Amino acid sequence: MEYSAKQLAQILKGTVDGDATAKVTKFAKIENGKPGCLCFYANPKYEHYVYTCKASVLLVNKDFEAKEPVSCTLVRVDNAYSALAELLKYASRDKQIRGRHRAFSAKYYFSTKFGKSVYVGANAYVGRHTTVGDNTVIHPNVYIGDNCKIGSNCIFYPGVRIYPGMVIGDNVIVHANAVIGSDGFGNAPQPDGTWQKIEHLGNVIIGDNVEIGANTTIDRSEMESTIIGKGVKIDNLCQIAHNVVIGDNTVMAAQVGIAGSTKIGESCIIAGQVGIVGHITIADHTTIAAQAGVISNIRKPGGQFLGSPCMPIKQYLRSYAKFKQSGEE
């Protein structure tokens, strides 16, 4: 990559304070800033680095007032942290494979419909009657089954598996080896003690602006749809079972497991290794701390929960204090 301070200001809708022609070719932390680097300053505890940083360009908030001389060219933006996230996304998209094409070894059909500037990597497979939107990148060794609907500006990293009939919105990122649409874990007990598999004929619907981490699995429903709302962010190694519904803008960290037919509200935060039983409802804006076990409905929005079984965080801390005291007697 190579951007001038002026270009950065245009991309980020900011202003330049210093040399508008200063160029950057890579990113760096503010404490490691060198000529040619772009750094950012947003956390006040790092302010001392602003005056020692040697980066060519430094992103800062518009209201930043220097207390000492600064050698970097400053690009002033409304929010430096958000601007960095936007710029990283812009740079990532900018360096994506240029001259999009479909590799000779890729497999697809006359009934497969590709939008403009779609890239399909070596040994990728895109099934019959599947549609792929503009500017989507399908990396090598990706499998996309028949009758799928794939949006625009998506990225599917190597090894992704998307079963037939799945629906994926725009601007979706699916990282390596994630599986979308595998059968749910449904088995009916038989009189002789064996288990009979319950077939799953539904699908998974994923909204716009979703990101799904590596090795995460999202199971299709038995008859209708497992639904991942808009703006949901799912970390690596998560398991989302059949018929689950996840509301818009909810985020979950690694190794979360959600059992079947649970409904999770909008804008929830689910920390690492949380386990959630099936057939319950979790209200909007709920925060669940790491390794918590959720075994019943959470009906009131905005709560914070901890422990296994989980309870409101204040109640948990009081209980833990008593538990700890009892061990000292």
Whether the CA torsion 195, 196, 197, 199 is positive or negative: it is negative
**Which listed residue (48, 242, 279, 285) is catalytic?**
242
CA-angle at 220, arms to 270 and 131, nearest 5°: 105
Helix (H) or strand (E) holding 319: helix 313-328
Cα–Cα distance for residue pair 266/230, rounded to 1 Å: 9
How many Å separate Cα 179 from the centre of its chain? 15
Cα–Cα distance for residue pair 285/264, rounded to 1 Å: 10
Q: Is 242 a catalytic residue?
A: yes
Q: How do beta strands 269-270 and 287-288 pair?
A: parallel
CA-angle at 221, arms to 217 and 226, nearest 5°: 65
Cα–Cα distance for residue pair 266/100, rounded to 1 Å: 36
Cβ atoms of residues 277 and 257 within 8 Å: no
Cα–Cα distance for residue pair 96/155, rounded to 1 Å: 10
Residue 256 tokens read as 């979360």
Helix (H) or strand (E) holding 5: helix 5-12
Cβ atoms of residues 4 and 21 within 8 Å: yes
Which phi and psi (to 5°) does residue 126 adopt? -125, 120
Cα–Cα distance for residue pair 205/274, rounded to 1 Å: 23
Residue 116 tokens read as 């403009």
SS3 percent helix, strand, coil of the chain, rounded to 5, is 15, 30, 55
The residues assigned a catalytic role are 242
